[in-house]
Amino acid sequence: MDIRELTKKVKESTSQMTRKEKIQLLKDAKIIDESGYYCEEFFSKETVAKDRANGKPLVI
C-alpha cells in the first residue's frame, strides 16, 4: 500500500468520527496530551515550549 492509499483510508475513516473521537485518537496516538498541547514524548522541547507559550491548546 502506498502513501496515497493510506492517506485516503485515514481520511475516510476519520470523516465518520465525531470531534470527541478524533480528539481521543490524537491523545491515544500521543500527539497531544490531556491538556490539548503537543505531547513532550514525541515533539521537541522547542515545539512544546512554543505551543504552551501560545496559551491555546490545540483542542479543548
- Which residues, other chains included, contact 5 with Cβ-Cβ below 8 Å and sequence gap of 6+? none
Q: How far is CA 32 from CA 5, 7, 8, 11, 20, in A?
A: 25, 20, 23, 19, 13
- Does pTM top 0.75 for this prediction? no
Residue 22 CA, distance from chain mean position: 8
pLDDT in tens, the chain (60 residues): 788 998 888 888 888 899 999 899 899 999 999 999 999 998 999 999 999 998 888 776
